[in-house]
Structure 1
């Protein structure tokens, strides 16, 4: 009797490779689950969520790799989840439709000064070159205020609400237009001054220089979560609000997504630059992420957005132009 059974083809790599694929699948599904389920959790899971764009790309590659190796179950599951992640992340690389806006053009720039060490001449040059109207500063020290003034900041932005302090605790707002200090956030670890900007015309704006506590400190992310939750929502019955600064959060973290759901838009996301990293500047480790933002009241159409390298700081500056509509 002739044996006509066709021998089964052995899968490439055998059991060891199968175990590796399974381990990578579990790791990917765990990281993706944090983002899709909206879990910030511990400082370690917060850091994992910050890497969502990298996780998404890795998931696509892992799914294709698993299918090529005929690990059908793992490959199919990973690719399906990766597609969902791509749907959440990829739109940041494409501009949104911009409604027509008639009103006052405003340019806002924000920079974390890294304990006041950022090159003041670079900062003022960026303000001049980009015709900035409102500048928000984080980690603003008394010494850096003096350096900025020597570089000519007061000449171009004569109005200010500064709460300078040692180390990383100070922040400030400088403006081409008159400012009135306003308490728009509860007290936090870092200073987060707010101000009403008296724009030309009939409509003003409120601005907050945002600096949330880093979530990866040994004490955990609780202070960071409270401070993000304490940022003011859009005031539909008042002037448009702008939150600009170092949120220590990406568009994948729950606290930032909550603000966007309550009436803000992320300027970078609006123009298709939402994947442009802002920290660490000029380094490849940790993997660069986008934690500096300008959140604009959704009533204000965003025209442009860009990131700038400033000497002396590990953050890149962010600058955007938007239109404050005439009421």
Structure 2
């Protein structure tokens, strides 16, 4: 028997453990990601990382293909579980749900972060006019933006308002086509403010509406404020008044605090309409960040969702989100 004949099996034996280790190393990060996501275990830097879970779900079949190709059945089994967990958590957002069928009047709600005055007021007013918006929720609302919006005709389109213009990007605003009563503004622990009011739409029960803006988890020092602000958002009241929360939540549906808020009785309008994977923040002001979905319209589950559209950014790093809803008859 020649030396060359023996070399093949020896080489294969030496490469076998290396290839097995390669498979485990490829599978392990996605498996850990699935555990963190499903367990709501995001802490520290993982809070930011979890926002990109849809990208991890899209990549999750790759380690499985590698393990199957190399016939590494242990890594293949773990890769299968991780892929099923991640895809199962993300995919429903792209599938329209019939949801609640309400028989009352339609309501169009638009939310936009105007980036402390960097947004384009003309584009925003044009969108309100063209889309026949009934309620406009703004975040990072400043005095200059408020004055420009009224000069451009928003005061005629949406005459009712609860405004808190602030020059340091902590401002908030609600504009409405319908009477807005019992209004006010509250300040979150993280510093941003939230305008709120009770919407009186003819033919429907009163609806409590709030322009939402919890703290951003942009640094480790802000994580406590981020969690506290999300926990302080008004819970749904399934046996009480209707509620709508619209704004820049600084959280995706993969963050446990936002899912906890949904569990009180809200539905995410975009996910209900099958548009829950449309990115709303990321590269729109030039930052090399993949888009993530942190702007939401949350609605009481008694409210129907007809359609959700994410519009091009108008000078901001956020894309406006328009939700077409149907209120219960009242």
TM-score normalised to structure 2 length: 0.91
Look up the match of 2:310: 307
Deviation of 1:19 after TM superposition, in Å, equals 3.9
User: How big is the shift at 1:187?
Assistant: 3.8
**CA shift at 1:12, angstroms?**
11
Equivalence for 1:138: 139
Is the contact between residue 282 and residue 317 of structure 2 (CA under 8 Å) also seen in structure 1?
Answer: yes
Change beyond 3 A, Cα 1:11–1:60: farther
2:171 alignment counterpart: 170
Please tell me whether the aligned partners of residues 215 and 229 of structure 2 are also in contact (alpha carbons under 8 angstroms).
yes
Q: Structure 1 residue 14: deviation in Å? A: 5.5
Identify the residue that residue 293 of structure 1 maps to in structure 2. Answer: 296
Residue 200 (str. 1) matches residue 202 (str. 2): yes
1:40 matched residue in structure 2: 42
* Closer/same/farther in 2, CA of residues 96 and 13 from structure 1, 3 Å limit: farther
CA 1:197–1:221: 2 relative to 1, 3 Å: same
- Cα distance in structure 1, aligned partners of 2:221 and 2:251: 17
How far is 1:285 from its partner?
Answer: 2.6
How far is 1:99 from its partner? 3.8
Count of residue pairs the alignment pairs up: 323
Q: 1:9 to 1:79 in 2, by over 3 A?
A: farther
In 1, Cα distance between equivalents of 2:16 and 2:186? 58
Match of 2:319 among 295, 316, 321: 316
Give 2:231's aligned residue: 229
In the TM superposition, residue 141 of structure 1 has moved relative to its aligned partner by 0.6
- Normalised by the length of structure 1, the TM-score is 0.92
Please say if residues 52 and 292 of structure 2, whose CA atoms lie closer than 8 Å, have aligned partners that are also in contact. yes
Cα displacement string for residues 182-228 of structure 1 (whole angstroms, at most 9, x for unaligned residues) = 45866431001111011112512111100111012241311010111
Task: Report if aligned partners of 2:188, 2:214 keep a CA contact under 8 Å in 1.
Answer: no
> Residues 22 and 240 (structure 1 numbering): CA distance in 2 closer, same or farther, change over 3 Å?
same
Residue matched to 1:213: 215
Any idea what the Cα deviations from partners look like across 1:230-280, whole Å, max 9, x if unmatched? 111112343210000000000111111112111100000011111111012
Superposed structure 1 runs of 4+ greater than 2 Å apart: 5-26, 69-72, 181-188, 236-239, 281-285
Q: Mark the runs of 5 or more structure 1 residues left unpaired by the alignment.
A: none
Is the Cα–Cα contact under 8 Å of residues 164 and 185 in structure 2 kept in the other structure? no
> Is the Cα–Cα contact under 8 Å of residues 52 and 252 in structure 1 kept in the other structure?
yes
Q: Could you tell me which residue of structure 1 aligns to residue 3 of structure 2?
A: none
For the Cα contact (< 8 Å) 1:32–1:55, is it kept in 2? no
Contact 1:157 1:174 in 2 (8 A): yes
The 1-side partners of 2:10 and 2:270 are apart by 53
Greater helix proportion = 2
Structure 2 residue 133 is matched with structure 1 residue 125: no
Mapping of 1:210-289 within 5 angstroms?
A: 210-282=212-284, 285-289=288-292
In the alignment, the residues of structure 1 paired with residue 283 and residue 192 of structure 2 have an alpha-carbon distance, to the nearest angstrom, of 22
Displacement after TM superposition at 1:314 (Å): 0.8
Distance 1:266 1:12 in 2: 52
- What secondary structure does 2:234 align onto? coil
Partners of 1:146 and 1:234 lie apart in 2 by: 33
RMSD of equivalent CA atoms:
2.3
Query: SS where residue 29 of structure 2 aligns?
Result: helix
Q: Distance in 2 between matches of 1:69 and 1:172?
A: 57
1:24-173 equivalence runs, <5 A: 24-42=26-44, 44-173=45-174
- Which of 10, 35, 57 is equivalent to 2:12? 10
For 1:176 and 1:92, locate their aligned partners in 2 and report how far apart those are by CA, in whole Å: 30
